[in-house]
Structure 1
């Protein structure tokens, strides 16, 4: 049983294209399964989180990140008596629109598309599940429920400046873009923060971009590190074994404390609001799912540290610069000469106007994995590689 303020299994606003509901799965179980089986979800396994895919087998990718977000979100949703399946669906789908090479690839495409309708990964996620996935006879996209699409569109809050595609889709399937999303989508968004702060610290330490000394003074993280080191000293393991266990235990404690604080503060917020429906959460006027003030400040400090010391590290910057150049060159070459596109895109491009052609090329690039994008760049620019 879910709480009265959760999205109810019997209360869905339906799908854009009506379907007979399953006798054995809830609408959101079907949504989750459609996301898991989509081509867009599979490509996430070779898309950058921070490190480009070939830099190491054990660094997070967009796929492992999405799975970790879903695990954290589902645990929090269960604790708060929310709709776990809907929470999981939004968590798994939230990064479907990411380009190869992470934010570097997105920045390059956004600049290339600046005068042609723009590009951002949130809009691309919505386009993927509502138009680009071509799997079903009766419709394009995945035909997800209103609740899943609303969560995907608004998981970071009300959409104050909707992109042209948001406006276009909202006109035919109103997603109430100016309100907050359901508690389930809010949990997915906050779990995204928890997951990437935890695993980006982990990956940074593993890669040698960060050291234990670098994080000693970070709020929350420093205390978790001290406790972990003390435990290892008491156990007395070999130094070579200690470092890995200290790292894992530190990150485990950080993730647990963030998730616990979020759950406890959200309970207090729910008690104060006393919502009687999911719509009461949507129209509360503020995010109901939130950290305590103290943890919010700690979280900001971790984010600031990661941006300064990891995301802007010279090694990361070098790879990001190369990625931006590759993405922009692929875009420019294919936009200027659409005859170089593979079938069937080449035929579509010939029938398109300038805006449509560039959008088609952007969609093609956004759907690439890191590895495919590198190979495609070589095919288009290197005479020694067969086209």
Structure 2
């Protein structure tokens, strides 16, 4: 027996919780096209995202460490894959739509420029008088306008639910304008799961990468309640060197505790608030997916530690300062002389203002491509 789209949609109707979004109930796509015979709508969205140029470029875009710092640190791509894995686990545990959750997770960082948040800050500053720059909005722009893969429409023509989940993606650091997607309503449970999966992933892998890079003083880490609890579980004391295998155990335990806490607390929130429909999820005054109050306090303590001890570490500040210089000088060079833009990019000036075209071009660069372009423009001994 072949499980085609109709059969898979029937399984969704039976298997998912009443608050989980079903593919058959999608509001559809912007451009009319026949649906896949074999895949439900959200699964098709996921597959389209994976096959984009923007997704492949994530392999060489910075998460925290620029690629030349080492081969074992996270990149924007490995971060995205970790978020998708966590998103699926949370969605499955709560009876939500795994494919929709995965699609939102895989797309959430497509718009990140080179050099991580340093690149984003630089572009936002340079675009201050031209509409600004936000990686979340840029991700949406990629899937709706910039990817050129189909003859009859721009972008990927994703379903309303995937696009809504992307535009309503929010973190402590950014939140996008959800105009056109009922901004008065909360994101779907699948989108809320994606937000928490993103946070769990970067808390865990930034701690892991920071430990690997030797950025932390153990005495400072020992002040964290969560760190002390994780050490007790794996049976390691700070007086001894931290073996790689023990570091893996600690990070694995952190992820496991985070996921279990979110599942337990979210289930409690859904039950206490009698959430039994997608509509009730989106009209509830607060997000329903989250940590327990006690665990949230511990996570906030960890995040503050990472901010102070890692993101503000002199090595990262130096790297970020260089990155902002590269981005700024590329932008200024193209703005002063647009004829230096590649031919295909320059053609887009017929459709969008100069500064937005430049920003789209730079935001699409990988770290190494941006460095290569900078050398071509500013190194007198480098051929253009």
Counterparts of residues 105-120 of structure 1 (less than 5 Å) = 105-120=119-134
Aligned-pair Cα RMSD in Å: 1.9
> Following superposition of structure 1 onto structure 2, how do residues 318-333 of structure 1 map, counting pairs within 5 Å?
318-333=318-333
Q: What is aligned with 2:207?
A: 201
For the Cα contact (< 8 Å) 1:13–1:147, is it kept in 2?
yes
Change in Cα spacing, 1:51 to 1:180, as seen in structure 2 (3 Å) is same
Choose the corresponding residue for 1:210, options 212, 216, 224. Answer: 216
Corresponding residue for residue 97 of structure 1: 111
CA distance 1:128–1:347, shift in 2 (3 Å): closer
Report deviation, 1:347.
Answer: 3.5
Is the contact between residue 232 and residue 246 of structure 1 (CA under 8 Å) also seen in structure 2?
A: no
Aligned to 1:228: 234
Within the alignment, does 1:177 sit opposite 2:191 as a pair?
no
Query: Is residue 364 of structure 2 the alignment partner of residue 371 of structure 1?
Result: no
Name the counterpart of 2:286: 286
Matched residues, number: 368
Report the CA distance between 1:285 and its aligned residue: 1.3
Label 1:162 to 1:33 Cα distance change in 2 as closer, same or farther (>3 A): closer
Aligned pairs for 1:159-174 (under 5 A) are: 167=179, 170=180
Distance in 2 between the 1:232 and 1:207 partners?
17
Residues of 2 paired with 1:94 and 1:68: CA distance? 12
Alpha-carbon offset, residue 231 of structure 1: 9.5
Shift of 1:277: 1.5
Q: 2:218 touches 2:238 (CA, 8 Å); kept in 1?
A: no
Deviations 1:52-103 (A, max 9, x none): 1111100001100010011111011101110000010011111111010000
* TM-score normalised over the length of structure 2: 0.92
Give yes or no for the alignment of 1:14 onto 2:14: no
Q: Any idea what the Cα deviations from partners look like across 1:110-131, whole Å, max 9, x if unmatched? A: 0000001111101101101100
Given the alignment of the two structures, is residue 61 of structure 1 paired with residue 67 of structure 2, yes or no? no
Structure 1 residues 246 and 3 mapped into 2: Cα distance closer, same or farther (>3 Å)?
A: same
Which position in structure 1 is the counterpart of 2:298? 298
| 1:275 shift after superposition | 1.9
- Which ranges of structure 1 fall in alignment gaps of 5 or more residues? 234-238
Matches of 1:231 and 1:83, distance apart in 2: 41
Hey, what's the Cα distance between the residues in 2 that align with 1:279 and 1:10?
16
Name the CA distance, whole Å, in 1 between partners of 2:57 and 2:34.
29
Distance 2:27 2:347 in 1: 38
Answer yes or no: is the 8 Å Cα contact 1:265–1:291 preserved in 2. yes
Counterparts of 1:61 and 1:73 in 2: how far apart (Å)?
18
- Post-superposition CA distance 1:134-155 (Å, at most 9, x none): 1101110111100000100112
CA distance in 1: counterparts of 2:120 and 2:238, whole angstroms: 41
C-alpha distance in 2, partners of 1:249/1:26?
A: 37
Matches of 1:370 and 1:287 in 2, distance apart?
35
1:278 Cα shift?
A: 1.0
Distance 2:62 2:361 in 1: 17
Could you tell me how far 1:346 is from its partner in structure 2?
A: 2.4
CA distance in 1, matches of 2:205, 2:190: 22
TM-score with structure 1 setting the length? 0.91
> Residue 256 in 1 paired to residue 270 in 2?
no
Residue of structure 2 equivalent to 1:236? none
Contact 1:225 1:246 in 2 (8 A): no
